[in-house]
Amino acid sequence: MITSHILHFGVGNFHRSHQAKYLHQLHSEGRDLEWAIVGAGLLPGDVRMRDALRDQDYAYTLVECAADGTNAVHRITSITGYLYGPDDPAALIEMLAAASTRIVSLTITEGGYNLSDATGRFDTTNTAMRADTWNEDRPTTVFGYLAAALRRRRRAGIAPFTVLSCDNIQNNGDMAREALVSFIGMTDVDLADWVEGNTAFPGSMVDRITPVTTDADRAWVRATTGYDDSWPVVSEDFTQWVMEDHFPSGRPRWEDVGAQLVDDVAPFETMKLRMLNGAHQALAYVGLLRGHTFVHEAMTDPAVASLVDAFLQEAESTVPPLPGIDLLAYRMTLLKRFSNASIRDTLERLATDASDRIPKFVVPIARDLIQHSQPAPEAAAVIASWVAVASTRHNNSRPLADRQVEDVWQGLLDERVVAGSFLDRTDWFGALGENPTFRTTYVSSLERLRRGNAFESVASNAL
């Protein structure tokens, strides 16, 4: 009989194509049937997911698309419930506090951890976080819920659950620990010390390109399978999951279905975040400037493809050797994945929340190269392309979706007054703006992009 030992915050398309699929595969082989997932959501946008899953008894369709045009269709049943926090905060806290909840996993986006990009420290001035320090019974943030539940577990003599971050953040386990312990420490130092000393925060690296579901996807699933699925998921056929094997309260045998359990996930994270996620940023903005809509469409444009390949080579030069990994082969695989026409992933999706993504995926590449007295022209070009697109979109009253959109707009205004001043946002770029070579390269790239006739020169590294 399937019971629930995992509670997951942030049930979106990625989680349903990735972590939920791994557990479903174990179930389909008759393994680990005592494990299942209960989803949790806190944001107004999560209501739709709550309703879609509930109306389908929490089952949904996953379509895995290969580059050759073939598809594999699965009916995923590893999610067995969903709790929307604002509906009943007490019910969500109670499930988190129950001894049966052994793992709490997170896909709450890069910005959900409330950490400074420059320092990696928790922002104790955040209004929502501060409100949750005194609102234990009706929290609004993930960390408010986790703190309330862990306080109850400690009082009851129940060991803490394992906190498993599955977000695209370097050292995501350490970052989850920093956020949770710092949040609790704002009001309860003793509990913060207990959590830090007793809670496991294994690091993980996740990888699977999963675009937004479209009406065409729904129609295809209906015609092909007969399921009238209100929210199916379409993904590529590639998947990777690397985790540190530190789960004191137990875990499913994910390694039996392809996950990698390792002692240190950091090198794998560096490879994936800088090469795949960084290249997505290289694709997004130049692709939009060139008038493209979809990733695979942009990859047919020689100017875009050249920039992406040049960026990947620059990123690859900062990745340490990995046992069993051929970085050249990995780079070629990424180019093939980006060109998969069956995955109609949009550049607009990749360009969302650039103020969170570029500091985590692109800035570390430039920082490493500069520390070794090497130039970082492709990283500078990517940042310049973000500014070029953001400027055009703001001027047309169609700003890029970004949780820090007002800060982006202020940076664009500053850039209009003094060329290069966008780089002075140290919370995004650290000390990059102080490096004269990088600053000059960024300004030169932005000038070319704004002229609209020099994409090839940017892509060819003639910066």
Strand-pairing partners, residue 60, are: 76
190, pLDDT greater than 50:
yes
Q: What is the mean pLDDT of residues 254-277?
A: 95
Name the pLDDT band for 446 (thresholds 50, 70, 90).
very high
Q: Is the pLDDT of residue 120 over 90?
A: no
Number of structural domains, the chain? 2
Within-domain flag for 1: no
The pLDDT of residue 454 is 46
CATH at 392: 1.10.1040.10
pLDDT digits (tens, 9 = 90+) for 28-64: 999 999 999 999 999 999 999 999 999 999 999 999 9
Which residues are within 8 A (CB) of 372 and not within 5 positions of it... i.e. 6 or more apart?
none
Task: For residues 73 and 80, give the distance between their C-alpha atoms in angstroms, rounded to a whole number.
Answer: 20
**Residue 160 sits in a domain of what CATH number?**
3.40.50.720
The pLDDT value recorded for residue 135 is: 87
- 415 and 446 fall within a common domain: yes
Q: Label the pairing between strands 37-41 and 6-9.
A: parallel
Question: How far is 209 from 295, CA to CA, in rounded Å?
Answer: 11
Rounded Cα gap, residues 247 and 245, in angstroms: 6
Mean pLDDT for all residues in the chain? 94
Q: Model pTM? A: 0.86
User: What pLDDT is stored for residue 459 in this prediction?
Assistant: 45
Q: What is the pLDDT of residue 178?
A: 97
Kind of pairing, strands 233-236 and 60-65?
Answer: parallel
Parent domain of 144: 6-262
How long is the chain? 463
Task: Indicate the residue among 197, 228, 262 that finishes a domain.
Answer: 262
Q: Using the predicted structure, report yes or no on whether residue 455 has a pLDDT greater than 90.
A: no
Kindly state whether residues 337 and 425 are assigned to the same domain.
Answer: yes
Mean local confidence (pLDDT), 425-433: 95
Residue 456: pLDDT band with limits 50, 70, 90: very low
The neighbouring-strand residues paired with 76 are 60
Q: Three-state SS for 350?
A: helix
Backbone φ/ψ region at 287: left (φ over 0), alpha (ψ -120 to 50), beta: alpha
364-399, pLDDT tens digit by residue? 999 999 999 999 999 999 999 999 999 999 888 889
Predicted pLDDT of residue 462: 35
Query: Within this chain, do residues 309 and 448 fall inside the same structural domain, yes or no?
Result: yes
Point out the domain boundary residue: 262, 293, 318: 262
What pLDDT does 2 receive?
56
Q: Give domain status of residue 314, yes or no.
A: yes
408 and 285 within one domain: yes
Cβ–Cβ < 8 Å for 377, 462: no
336 and 276 together in one domain: yes
Q: Is the pLDDT of residue 188 over 50?
A: yes
β-pairing verdict for 71-76 and 162-165: unpaired
Confidence of residue 246 (pLDDT cuts 50, 70, 90): very high
Note whether 319 and 179 are same-domain residues. no
For residues 242 and 46, what is the distance between their CA atoms, to the nearest angstrom?
Answer: 27
Instruction: Please report, rounded to a whole number, the percentage of residues in the chain having pLDDT higher than 70.
Output: 97
The answer on pLDDT for 157 being more than 70 is: yes
DSSP H or E segment with residue 60: strand 60-65
Domain end point (choices 244, 262, 280): 262
Gap between the Cα atoms of 101 and 204, Å rounded = 20
Q: Are residues 244 and 300 in the same domain?
A: no
| pLDDT (tens digit per residue) in 64-79 | 999 999 999 999 999 9
How many CA atoms within 13 Å lie on the side-chain side of 213?
Answer: 23
Residue 45, C-beta contacts closer than 8 angstroms, at least 6 positions apart? none
For residue 25, the surrounding DSSP H or E stretch is helix 19-28
Residue 109 exposed, middle or buried by CB count within 10 Å (0-12, 13-18, 19+): middle
Q: Which residues of 16-42 are buried (b: 16+ CB within 10 A; e: fewer)?
A: bbbbbbbbbbbbeeeebeebbbbbbbb
Residues 351 and 377 in one domain: yes
Average pLDDT for residues 295-319, to the nearest whole number? Answer: 96
